[in-house]
Structure 1
């Protein structure tokens, strides 16, 4: 089985693909993971141990003229595969479809975003690509039911080709990582109760709304710190926003963290402020760690994971005052916070990785 990604980033898409590869029964499935670009140094521990890993180029930069090179290397490895799985939308899906067509191999496409919301922020060619490529795939796997409905409203695919296999995490692995040490810089951050968020510093994640909510809660006397882990194009803009709101001393943005779970476990609250998602991996990881969760009710994923608020607090998208109020209560009210932590752990137990992996193995067997 050949799974393909563009590169090994720090996001949920890569983690979801690696979780599938790590969980497939190695006695039944020989697996390979192919990247267009070499994995960055320091992230080798994210790669599944039982999977052969290869890539097309040592360069981390994308140049359109290199597409034939990526395809040539993909074809070399795909010749030995029974099934090609496009681990993400976009370029990975394009080249997986081309390789499948040229080699006569079945292709599976993975859908990670709520495309009803996501396509509005993307060039029109992205939606054209979905409508061109995915109806030609033998199977499409959506990470959640809401994500599947949103996708099908945009792309006409037969019901029998679209399957929902929810994202999942290995709770034991996540909790073991959380027992690790925290970086030296974390000491001053945790001198106050911490609201933690993890994700790319991009518009989708709504960190501008989260910083505004943090400032509103501070104005109401809630003494806490905000820790945002991640890198992205909005770093300078978000730091400028914190300065303009007078909270630069209580907002910490240290960049990429190799072990965010150790920091998440020590936080008072986990916040997800996204404008849209698919089925966010970091939310599943927070539940596995027993983190009290406050999340936007964005399309799609949080309501599905939290069962419409039974296992965490949901607030409207773009509503900084509502987010501030929910975070403030979680920080200040110990009884409420412990109740949210209990509900998080209970929900994590319900979201079985075994069920999802069984569905993946049955799907791959059928092809």
Structure 2
């Protein structure tokens, strides 16, 4: 633990229910427990996860100010080309991102005087970097990349508007990300992807795995589930937990499950989560005649109990930054199968040592891996031991060291 505490602000657009927000919450709680002053800074104070933020963590919203004397400081020192790209990316002059949020962020930095602002997701890092360059006092900046930008960009090519926005975003990343004090990715693959996108050496991006496994997770996993599908003697349950979105390839999992059933394996499938693909997935389930064997209950407050009582957990994604759910399932002692997608699964499973890895989109290979794992599951204690490598305390140790490093420069006072 560092000799002094710090004032740390986490900056996100909003705070919905999601893996990134859950990770941020664990980081904030862990840093507060170690004596640091932590703020949650949001563009808009909305999101299902807001009630989970403890009172010890103040929540600040970037609100409009009636007057601000610092308008003339928005442009000086920033090349005109960079300003033009930034204006286009942020949508200044449009409804999407009012200029007042940038102004409010500069005002927050100058009045609340955080030592460091840690930002993640979409435009938040760009706003943080620009605001830090405008503020009258030095504020260290750290950017966290939770996904693989290049794969998200490729997935957006079917939508011209989104593709154009991401192209502008990438131009700004290449210009502004070299200016931050530290760049962090949640897996080696995500770090290499980010470095390639911004045109920097791979070593310019640090890898810090997400804080995932905690005592609270272990406690929640032991909760009972009052559901006939988990009753003694019932067929084994295969579980997935993900946003119902195209990149999660849940249609491939459904097809593989159908093939598994056709091979004579009596099993059931539960897909936890919600998202834009729900109707499409339900239609495919009906077409395959599997409505009685597949359920989509939506988001649940305690997915760990479902993981603890399932026979198998599956990740079918096209790409993953890390895959918190894969680690969580292992921490609950649930055997796992994953696609060998770009991102974290191969790192987590150590090249297949802790669970089968199958090619992305290969229905037959996924069905075979599920059948093999159901018949010969990985030892529960072995999985729990591997998951412990992603403990919350270990991640907090690494972030504390990183924060102290970027705050050690002159003019960064202790909180």
**Could you tell me the TM-score, scaled by structure 2's length?**
0.79
Equivalent position of 2:27 in the other structure: 20
Deviates more, 1:110-119 or 1:251-260: 110-119
CA distance in 2 between counterparts of 1:39 and 1:340 reads 42
Q: Does 1:187 align with 2:187?
A: no
**Contact 2:15/2:49 (CA < 8 Å) preserved in 1?**
no
Q: Any gaps of 5 or more consecutive residues in structure 2?
A: 1-7, 64-90, 157-162, 407-415
SS of 1:51's equivalent in the other structure is: coil
Q: Among residues 51, 58, 63, which one is paired with 2:57 in the alignment?
A: 51
Change (3 A) 1:85 1:208: same
Equivalent position of 1:143 in the other structure: 186
SS of 2:98's equivalent in the other structure is: helix
**Contact 1:138/1:161 (CA < 8 Å) preserved in 2?**
no
Q: Does 1:105 align with 2:148?
A: no
Consecutive aligned runs of 4 or more in structure 1 exceeding 6 Å deviation: none
CA distance in 2 between counterparts of 1:3 and 1:219 reads 49
Q: Deviations over 1:184-243 (max 9, x none)?
A: 6x4347643111111111111111111111111111111111111111111101111111
**Contact 1:311/1:340 (CA < 8 Å) preserved in 2?**
no
Q: Deviations over 1:48-75 (max 9, x none)?
A: 5642223347xxxx98444334334433
Equivalent position of 2:87 in the other structure: none
Q: Deviations over 1:111-141 (max 9, x none)?
A: 1112342321132334334323312212101
Q: Does 1:215 align with 2:258?
A: yes
Change (3 A) 1:176 1:325: same
Equivalent position of 1:77 in the other structure: 108
Equivalent position of 2:242 in the other structure: 199
**Contact 2:213/2:388 (CA < 8 Å) preserved in 1?**
no
Q: Among residues 316, 320, 330, which one is paired with 2:363 in the alignment?
A: 320
Q: CA RMSD in A?
A: 2.3
Q: Does 1:304 align with 2:347?
A: yes
SS of 2:404's equivalent in the other structure is: helix
CA distance in 2 between counterparts of 1:114 and 1:28 reads 33
CA distance in 1 between counterparts of 2:265 and 2:56 reads 47
Equivalent position of 2:4 in the other structure: none
Q: Does 1:353 align with 2:392?
A: yes
Q: Does 1:164 align with 2:207?
A: yes
**Contact 2:32/2:38 (CA < 8 Å) preserved in 1?**
no
Q: Deviations over 1:291-324 (max 9, x none)?
A: 1011111111000011001111111110111111
**Could you tell me the TM-score, scaled by structure 1's length?**
0.89
Equivalent position of 2:401 in the other structure: 362
Q: Does 1:87 align with 2:120?
A: yes
Question: What aligned pairs does 1:260-271 form with structure 2 within 5 A after superposition?
Answer: 260-271=303-314
CA distance in 2 between counterparts of 1:49 and 1:261 reads 25
Query: Which protein is bigger by CA-based radius of gyration?
Result: 2
Change (3 A) 1:126 1:210: farther
CA distance in 1 between counterparts of 2:58 and 2:118 reads 15
Change (3 A) 1:256 1:76: farther
Equivalent position of 1:96 in the other structure: 128
Q: Any gaps of 5 or more consecutive residues in structure 1?
A: none
Equivalent position of 2:68 in the other structure: none
Q: Among residues 10, 21, 25, which one is paired with 2:17 in the alignment?
A: 10
**Contact 1:297/1:303 (CA < 8 Å) preserved in 2?**
yes
Question: What aligned pairs does 1:237-256 form with structure 2 within 5 A after superposition?
Answer: 237-256=280-299
Q: Among residues 226, 246, 249, which one is paired with 2:269 in the alignment?
A: 226
**Contact 1:303/1:309 (CA < 8 Å) preserved in 2?**
yes
Q: Does 1:272 align with 2:306?
A: no
